[in-house]
Amino acid sequence: MEPITSDPCYSSWLEKSKSPSHSLFKEELVELYRRAGVASIFCSLPPKRVSPRAPMEIASANVICLQVSFCDLQEILPFSSSIGFCKHPLVSLATQRCRLSGEPCRLSVVVKCSLPSDPLLIRISISDTGVGSCLEEFQGLKFSRQSIGDEKWDGVLSVRTTGKCDNEVYHYQLNLKESASARRLTRLPSNPKNGVKFSGTEVILSMFESADALVAEINCFFQKMLMLKIPNVAYELVVERGDAPGSQCEHVFLANESNPLSFSASNLECLKSGIEDYVLKHGYKKEHLKVGSGTAYCTEGHQNTGWMMDTVIAISEISEPISSCFRTSGAKSEVIYFKDFSPCSVSRSSMKALTSIDWRSFGLTLKSIANQGGYAFLDWEGLPPNTRIDIILHSYHKQAIMPSAKQETQLDRNLIKRAVKLALDDLKEKHAGVLLSAHALKIRSYAPDLAKTIAGLILSSNDSGFQGECFSLLGLQCQGVGGEIVEDCIKKKIISVIEMNDRKSHERSEDVAPFLFEDECLQELDFQEDEYEEGVGFVFLARLYMRFSQLDQLMLKPRILSMGVLESPAWLPTVYWQLEIEHGYSLS
Amino acid sequence: MGDLRKSSMRFFSDQNLCYADILPPSEIRARIEVAVLNFLRILASPTPAISDLPLINRRSSNCRTSKGLLAQVSCVFLSHSFCTRSLMRANTAKAFIRVWKVMEMCFGVLVQEKRVTQRELFYKLLCDSPDYFTSQLLVNRTIQDVVALLQCSRYSLGIMASSRGLVAGRLLLQEPNQEVVDCSECGLSGHAISGDLNRLETLILNTDARYIIVVEKHAIFQRLAEDRVFNQIPSILITAKGYPDIATRFLLHRLARAFPDLPILALVDWNPAGLAILCTFKFGSIGMGLEAYRYACNVKWLGLRGDDLEMIPEQSLVPLKPRDLQIAKSLMSSEVLQENYRRELEIMVQHGQRVEIEALYFHGYDYLGKYIAKKIVQANYI
């Protein structure tokens, strides 16, 4: 491509940019980039960011500008960083191949700084022992000049691959910058296997990049891959600097190092276990870690499309500050998003979905949600100081299809909502007292006072029979029980009812609490005036008697002396009787 | 006392009626204990829950009236509509706990076999739980909640009514084995009515009066007592110094029962509040509806009434306040109000003015006595 300065379009743009009118400026720029080979572009430049400078600087300034301003672009580009683009899809493909094999596999990334004289030139090799590759997956890779300049990478991949049943190791060269499909793939001489049965793939590329930055990024990437805890894949990062011996260092990332899982564990179980490992490794305490998980299925009509989303939510208490790939501290949560077994940036619809979740019913108040560099950050209000919440989402298709065949499905916004809610419900179900809604928290704050009052009532009685019965109902020993113990016992029971009701309320079952005087028979009286008969009065009396007799210690024993019905206006029937009561208190 | 033991209890029951029992302390303690046991039983059950408190609804919607059959007395009753206090609703959770706290306090009072006034209870609760009880009104309301829950009278809970009422005139009171008190010799202030309903119950009463006059205001009571109006017209004067309290109503009721031939006449200001006071003596109140019927008396309206206005100079007519209009409205909506009272109320509201009894002093300080005498002789009361 010719240098940008010689482009006539560019010069006219430059002229106009001196006195920019926004829309014109925009059009020229769009045209420029279209010529540069960018497939599509969303343009809304804030004019003040652009200042007339030397042409190259302006061009690069604009590039940065564009990258930062447009969140939409995240949906097209896997990663916004210049390093990231190339490597991540390759590792993702390698991961898929390893998963497909079903056997223990290794995935290695070797970074070699080849020449001491040219320290920026590095050779990256991504190799795996999974199933052999069909080249379609590579053909499907898109290359966007926007993220990597020409000078960084020439677009060439060297691929060696073989399947278990193949007799040779095939060797290809792929030029992703070549637009004509015929000239993209070049077949190179293969190597014989000599009867040895193995499968695997190696992809090699060279680029100009800082080795340290790359290694750090790969490290971080693998840390995240460990969260997925794919049972049969071991990741390895090897860094070689120069030819001198001893300049090699290795990092091994074993998924099953701690807490091994069987190969048959579901993806969700792996994810859960992976998060737990990760969190514990970084200094959290196991007893303060609470994890909830759930899987939501994407349906069209009534059928599962096969797309699903696993969600794990971990609530932990920080004991000491840690450094990790989590770019969060306390009141902010990072939402880690995986797509098809590879870390992915968060889409705008996902952000919207996260905003629309009813966090309040789980006692959480979302202050704001931000998208920074492809990562979603949730800012909470009023979280206890040492608590952190991590949300991990993983969407994938239940069949491990190779990427070239998959369609880009716009994930249902509801899928995320459902998945997160499932995980939150699970968390509440498993751990009492966690994620109580604001309502429940408020009611729970009254529990100590209520417990104290009732305990006070029990203890102030001078009736040992009554006290004994209370204690036995509470499951306490009768003798020598202190006030605090009684109070505490009642308080615990009340709190557990409140928490249980809070969990139940999510199932939308309105449990009506029983009345204190359950057999309150007067409640049931519902006579209509025209139904009035003589017998009614008797029934009323009988019920009255029943009510009295329920009160065991009551000494009133009413005896009916006489009963009758008086003539009265039809609208006001009256029963009249005389009762003799032993402990006569005159009632008129 | 022997009478009381064997006396049969008679009460009128509408099958829709709810009433509050007057019970000895042991019974109330028993009811509270049952409440606690039920609460714990439900809390510790396999499907635990925090039980709601069912309280008789003390709203006009739950109010019924009953015209008495053997007497001219109609009363206000509460029917079986319940409202609940629940811990599970955030805005009534505090009210729920207040009920339990008052129950705890009353239980303690009963165990120690004491009696307290509402004021004393307020201070105890204020110190014990300042978050829950911030005013006397709140305490009073909660006490009514407990009455509505346990369906027992306030007095049975150990809460003594404070004495506010006064009685003067041709009445001899004697507490058992005590000296006789002659209410006509009590001077300006009359004899204070005790707040202890037990004591009031046991009073021995004797009179040669022909009328009982209920006076709204203390000042008027004093004027009449000073002028010894009860000697000119043989009568008993009684006042609650404003809105009637239980003790005064209790005594009035006792007088009405003891001397059923004595007409009870009320002297109130010409304004909706005065009429409301009269009605409370006459029918009872909804707020204390569970105990109301017990003390209703057949009180007649002596004055001031609409036809007395011609005696009042123009200047004494004062405009009605918004509060007066509110009271008028709620009185109008009460189905127990009889036609002639309703007419009087309408005239009051139409004129938009009210008059106090003191306006009669325009004609001289002794005019009031003459006014009352004239009206009684003419049987000019409704």
A535-539 LR contacts (CB < 8 Å, sep 24+): A536/A575, A536/B15, A537/A563, A537/A565, A537/A575, A537/A577, A537/B15, A538/A563
A381 CA to centre of own chain: 18
List CB contacts (< 8 A) between A540 and chain B.
Answer: 13, 15
CA distance linking residue A252 with residue A237, whole number of Å? 6
Inter-chain contact B52–A513, Cβ cutoff 8 Å? yes
Spatial contact of A49 and A61, defined as CB atoms under 8 Å apart:
yes
Nearest CB to B101; choose among A453, A470, A536: A453
A456 in B contact zone (CB under 8 Å): yes
Model pLDDT for residues A306-337, shown as the tens digit of each residue:
788 888 888 887 655 554 444 455 567 888 88
Sequence-ordered list of residues with C-beta below 8 angstroms from that of B119, at least 6 positions apart, any chain? B136, B162
Pairwise CA distance, residues B365 & A166, whole Å: 128
* Cβ(B134)–Cβ(B199) below 8 Å: no
Q: Which of A97-111, A133-147, A338-352, B291-305 is the least confident region?
A: A133-147
From chain A, pick out residues whose CB is under 8 angstroms from the CB of B15.
525, 527, 536-537, 540, 573, 575
User: What per-residue confidence (pLDDT) applies to B86?
Assistant: 81
What pLDDT digit, counting tens, does each position of A54-92 carry?
333 333 333 322 322 222 222 223 333 434 545 677 888
**Residue A255: band (very low, low, confident or very high) from pLDDT cuts 50, 70, 90:** low
List of residues 6+ apart from B339 with CB closer than 8 A:
none
B28 and B105 in contact (C-beta within 8 Å)? no
Pairing mode, if any, of strands A290-300 and A303-317?
antiparallel
**Nearest-CA distance from B331 to chain A in Å?**
22
- Whether the CA torsion B353, B357, B360, B364 is positive or negative: it is negative
Contact B52 A550 (CB under 8 A): no
The answer to whether A560 faces chain B, any CB pair under 8 Å, is no
Q: To the nearest whole angstrom, how far is the Cα of A480 from the nearest Cα of chain B?
A: 20
Shortest CA distance to A376 belongs to which of A443, A317, A312, A328?
A: A328
Q: Residue range A156-169: average pLDDT? A: 87
A185 and A172 in contact (C-beta within 8 Å)? yes
A546 near B CB under 8 A: no
Q: Which of B9, B51, B76 to mutate to test the interface with A (most CBs of A within 10 A)?
A: B9
Confidence tier at A583 by pLDDT (50, 70, 90): very low
List the single residue in B49, B90, B149 with the smallest CB-CB distance to A497.
B49
8 A C-beta contact, residue A135 and residue A165: no
Residues of B acting as catalytic residues? 123
Higher pLDDT residue, B37 or A43?
B37
Q: Between B34, B80, B82, which is nearest A551 by CB?
A: B34
B15, B54, B129 ranked by CB distance to A517: nearest: B54
Distance to chain B for A585, nearest Cα, Å: 7
Residue A390 clears pLDDT 50, i.e. is over it: yes
What is the separation of C-alpha B184 from the centre of its chain, rounded to a whole number of angstroms?
Answer: 24
List C-alpha distances in Å: A372 to A345, A375, B28: 10, 5, 67
Structure tokens at B207: 């009179």
* Residue B302: half-sphere exposure toward Cβ, Cα within 13 Å: 25
Task: Decide the pairing of beta strands B211-215 and B235-239.
Answer: parallel
Q: In Å, how far are B53, B54, B342 from A513, measured between CA atoms? A: 10, 11, 44
pLDDT band at B215 (very low <50, low <70, confident <90, very high): very high
Of A520, A554, A584, the CB nearest to B27: A554
Query: Shortest CA distance to B129 belongs to which of B102, B156, B151?
Result: B102
pLDDT at A524 exceeding the cut of 70:
no
The encoded tokens of residue B145 equal 């909640």
CA distance A434 to A411: 29
Q: What is the pLDDT of residue A3?
A: 46
Q: Which of the residue ranges A227-231, B141-145, B187-191 has the most confident prediction, judged by mean pLDDT?
A: B141-145
**Long-range CB contacts (< 8 A, 24+ apart) of B318-323?**
B318/B353, B318/B354, B318/B355, B318/B356, B319/B352, B319/B353, B319/B354, B320/B271, B320/B272, B320/B348, B320/B349, B320/B352, B320/B353, B320/B354, B323/B273
Q: What's the Cα-to-Cα distance from B374 to each of B152, B270, B378, rounded to whole Å?
A: 44, 18, 6
Record: contact B43-A490, CB cut-off 8 A: yes
Per-residue pLDDT tens digits for B173-213: 998 888 898 988 887 788 999 888 888 888 999 999 999 99
Which residue in chain A has the smallest CA separation from B29?
Answer: A461
- CB A295, CB A270: distance < 8 Å: no
Whether A498 contacts chain B with CB within 8 A: yes
Mutate to test the interface with B, among A437, A446, A457, A583 (most CBs of B within 10 A): A457
A437 contacts A362 by C-beta, under 8 angstroms: yes
Alpha helix locations (H) across A316-379? Answer: 348-355
User: How crowded is residue A359: how many other Cβ atoms within 10 Å of its Cβ?
Assistant: 19
Whether pLDDT at A552 is above 90: no
In the sheet that A575-580 helps form, which strands lie side by side, from edge to edge?
A559-565, A575-580, B9-13
Instruction: Give the mutation candidate from B19, B42, B88, B198 for the A interface (greatest A CB count, under 10 A).
Output: B88
Q: What is the mean pLDDT of residues A123-135?
A: 86
Buried b (16+ CB within 10 A) or exposed e, B29-54: bbbbbbbbbbbbbbbeeeeebbbbbb
- Percent of chain A whose pLDDT exceeds 90: 4
| A244 at interface of B, judged by CB pairs closer than 8 A | no
Contact list in A for residue B35 (CB cut-off 8 A) is 516-517
The residues, any chain, with a CB within 8 Å of residue A473's CB and separated by 6 or more, are B37, B40, B41, B44
Banded pLDDT at A505 (limits 50, 70, 90): low
Partner residue facing B9 (CB), from A473, A525, A579: A579
Confidence label for A52 from pLDDT (cuts 50, 70 and 90): very low
Chain A residues in contact with B42 by the CB 8 A cut-off are 514
* E strands in chain B: 9-13, 53-56, 63-67, 74-78, 82-85, 116-117, 159-160, 166-169, 171-174, 180-182, 191-192, 204-207, 211-215, 235-239, 264-267, 299-303, 318-319, 353-354
Segment A197-223 shows an average pLDDT of 84
pLDDT of B235 over the 90 cut = yes
* pLDDT > 80? residue A12: no
Among A396, A376, A428, A389, residue whose Cα is nearest residue A295:
A396
Mean pLDDT of chain B: 84
pLDDT score recorded for residue A78: 32
**Residue A47: its H or E element:** none
Rounded Cα gap, residues A387 and A331, in angstroms = 8
- The helix or strand, by DSSP H or E, that contains position A402, with its residue range, turns out to be none
Please tell me which of the candidates B29, B80, B88 has its beta carbon nearest to residue A525: B80
**What residues are paired with A191 via a beta bridge?**
A169
Instruction: Decide: helix, strand or coil at residue A248.
Output: strand
Nearest by CB to residue B88, choosing from A469, A513, A583, is A513
Q: What is the mean pLDDT of residues A378-389?
A: 80
| Structure tokens, A366 | 């979302």
- Interchain contact, A520 vs B54, CB within 8 Å: yes
In A297-365, which residue ranges form alpha helices assigned H by DSSP?
348-355
Give the closest residue to A59 by CA, choosing from A110, A103, A105, A17.
A17
Q: Give mean pLDDT, residues B359-374.
A: 89
Chain position carrying tokens 């190696």: A202
Strands B63-67 and B353-354, bridge-based pairing: unpaired
Task: Look at residue B288 and tell me whether its pLDDT is greater than 70.
Answer: no
* Phi and psi at residue B63, to the nearest 5°: -95, 135
A457 in contact with B at a CB cutoff of 8 Å? yes
Which H or E run includes A118? Answer: none
pLDDT at site B187 = 76
- Bridge partners of residue B171, in order along the sequence: B207
Taking alpha carbons only, the member of A463, A454, A510, A336 closest to residue B30 is A463
Give DSSP secondary structure letters for A71-89: STHHHHSS-SSTTHHHHHH
Asked if pLDDT for residue B14 goes beyond 80, the answer is no
Contact B7 A587 (CB under 8 A): no
Q: What is d(CA A270, CA A276) in angstroms, rounded to the nearest whole number? A: 10
pLDDT of residue B254: 92
pLDDT at A565 over 50: no
Which pLDDT score is estimated for A27? Answer: 54
* pLDDT digits 0-9 by tens, A397-454: 876 555 443 444 555 678 888 889 999 888 888 887 788 888 888 889 999 999 999 9
Contact B4 A586 (CB under 8 A): yes
Cβ of B80 within 8 Å of Cβ of A523? The answer is yes
State the pLDDT at residue B213: 95
- Residue range A463-479, pLDDT digits in tens: 888 989 999 988 887 76
The C-alpha atoms of residue B300 and residue B211 are separated, in whole angstroms, by 11
Please check whether residue A400 touches B, CB under 8 A: no
Nearest to B15 among A449, A498, A525 (CB): A525
Among chain A residues, CA nearest to B109: A460
Mutate to test the interface with B, among A487, A509, A511, A516 (most CBs of B within 10 A): A516
* % of chain A beyond a pLDDT of 70: 59
> Cα separation of A205 and A158, whole Å?
6
- Residue A116 CB neighbour total at 10 angstroms: 10
All residues of chain B having their beta carbon less than 8 Å from the beta carbon of residue A527 are: 15-16
- Tell me how far apart the alpha carbons of residues A40 and A59 are, in angstroms, rounded to a whole number: 17
Q: What is the pLDDT of residue A440?
A: 86
Q: Which amino acid, residue A182? A: A
Counting Cβ atoms within 10 Å, is residue B229 exposed (0-12), middle (13-18) or buried (19+)?
buried
Does A562 contact chain B (CB < 8 Å)?
no
Contacts 24+ apart (CB under 8 A), A426-429: A426/A292, A426/A293, A426/A294, A427/A290, A427/A291, A427/A292, A427/A313, A427/A315, A428/A292, A428/A362, A428/A502, A428/A503, A428/A506, A429/A292, A429/A503
Whether residue A48 is predicted with pLDDT greater than 60 in this model: the reply is no
Whether A584 sits inside 8 A of B5 (CB atoms) is: yes
* Nearest chain A Cα distance for residue B43, angstroms: 7
Instruction: Supply the mean pLDDT for chain A.
Output: 68
- Taking CB atoms and an 8 Å cutoff, what residues of chain B touch A516? 35, 38-39, 51-54, 149
- Which residues of chain A are within 8 Å of residue B48 when distances are taken between CB atoms? 493, 496-497, 500
Tell me the pLDDT tens digit for each residue of A270-294: 888 888 888 777 777 777 888 889 8
- A203, A159 Cβ separation under 8 angstroms: yes
Whether A530 has its CB under 8 Å from any CB of chain B: the answer is no
Q: Which residues of A touch B256 (CB under 8 A)?
A: none
Give one DSSP letter per residue of A166-221, joined into a string.
Answer: -SEEEEEEEETT--SGGGTEEEEEEEE-TT----EEEEEEEEE--HHHHHHHHHHH
pLDDT score at B291: 64
User: Which chain A residue has its CA at the smallest distance from B21's CA?
Assistant: A587
